[in-house]
A and B are shown apart, each in its own frame.
Chain A
Amino acid sequence: MWRDLLLVASKDLRIEWRSKVGTGQIAPFALTVLLLFAFALDPDRGVLVRAASGLFWVTVLLSTVLAVQRSFAIESTDGARDGLRLSGLDPGAIFLGKAIAIVIQLLVLEVVLAIGVVVLYDAALGGALMLLLTCAFATIGIAACGTLYGVLAAGVRARETLLPLLFLPVVAPVMLAAARASEAALAGSAADGWPWVRLLAVFATIYAAVGTVAFGPLLEDG
């Protein structure tokens, strides 16, 4: 299981590193979204600062759609999906490997976006521990959910439009909890934030567990 997981994760990360899609397309897209929010709300700087957490996580979610689509696009060309099914790799390990690769890409993106939020929105970062845990649990939940719906959408013709329709509503609770926890961390009110962090940990555990079990049948149906 662990061997298969590491094999898939390292393969996906190596492909993403070589393709430069993350640095050349997804990161610029995310920064552009942040910038557009800044343009739209610029007349009221206070609103922008108050909404910074929510805007940050909306941007992460939109970027996740691209990252997940990319993760399954590499499996849909030239018979690679059949190759994956024939590989003998444990389906649960394939799920976890792909999800981990997406988590790592998203965490790097979140660092870039956090700098963008500070620069563009004039937000002050604080509550480091809570912010780190929020990012970790929220990113795991988002990536696990995205990977699960990614394999589901990859098996149909209208995959590009279907994935956001399936994924975004389901992951909305994660965005809500992540935004609240981030707000509490930035405001220095830890007592308000920890319940949301715990909720994020529960979401991450549930999505990862469900994905590990359900990925195999979904890979077969595609």
Chain B
Amino acid sequence: MSVPVVSFRSVVALVDRFPVLAGVDLHVEAGEVVLLTGANGAGKTSLLRAVAGLLPVAQGEATVLGHDLVADPRPVRRLVGFLGHGSALYGELTVDENVRFAVRAAAGDVARVPAALERLGLDGRLAAVPADRLSAGQRRRAALAVLLARDPALWLLDEPHASLDAGTRAELDAIVRDAAERGRTVLFSSHEGGRTHALATTAVAIEGGATASDDRYLFIPSGSLDVPVGGPTHVA
């Protein structure tokens, strides 16, 4: 049996003593594209941050790519790519410099940078533009270019379609499918509806306040949910 990419059992995470995750069970195998759905504040972003090793696990068992997050979350970070609400770009650096810095920092192959920029439509003149002169959508594309150039084993995308135009949304979907075909695992949250349901191989619904005692995050066996376009399977 292969080692799961993400294995969470009864995971609790706190922010200022508030339980933003209250007993999460999650099991993700390599190559899966997992969609997290739920209302604002349900805990989708917190779950992604916990998987990335950015949010400390206070209780439970949590391993990502074979690393124990409870013992030390830092080794996981170089292996995952996280697209959060911010683009994590330095305004004074050009698009090309930002992407190269991120790839070098992760000990990645900078030879992949030009192709990543081209695929996101950031080659040519735009590559030499400082990030603080980009539109919100262009910044989002630059952040995606970082992910594409790094090509980590686990992609964590928080509302990845936000701020993108129709063409780039379609390109993002293609990038996610390509990543899954290369054996990468993708975990993403979205409110986009049909588009993302068609993209995902598995869906996990997160709902209710995580602090409510009767709202549990339930274990979802890998591949047990075939999610049709039109709505995720509800788990509560």
Binding site for B on A (CB under 8 A): 4, 7, 11, 14-15, 18-19, 74, 77-80, 82-83, 85-89, 216
Contacts and interface: CB of A to CB of B under 8 A. Distances in A.
B54 A86 contact: yes
Contacts of A15: 90, 92-93
**A7, A14, A77, A78 — most chain B CB neighbours (10 Å):** A78
Give chain B's interface secondary structure class.
Answer: loop
Contact of A87 (B84, B85, B106): B106
Interface in B78-134: 78, 80-82, 84-93, 97, 101-102, 104-107, 130
22 contacts: A4-B105, A7-B105, A11-B93, A14-B92, A18-B93, A78-B86, A78-B87, A78-B139, A79-B85, A79-B87, A79-B88, A80-B86, A82-B54, A82-B84, A83-B89, A83-B102, A85-B54, A85-B77, A86-B53, A86-B54, A89-B105, A216-B74
Contacts of A88: 77-78, 105-107
B52 interface: yes
Interface size class of B (residues with CB under 8 A): 20 to 34
Nearest to A14: B93
Contacts of A79: 84-88
Closest 4 CB pairs of A and B: A79-B86, A88-B78, A83-B88, A87-B105
Nearest to A83: B88
A80 B85 CA distance: 11
Interface of B: 52-54, 74, 77-78, 80-82, 84-93, 97, 101-102, 104-107, 130, 139
Contacts, number: 68
Contacts of A78: 86-89, 91, 139
A92 to B, nearest CB: 12
Contacts of B88: 78-80, 82-83, 86
A85 B88 CA distance: 11
A39 to B, nearest CB: 35
A86 B82 contact: yes
Contact of B52 (A4, A74, A86, A216): A86
A18 B106 contact: no
Nearest to A91: B74
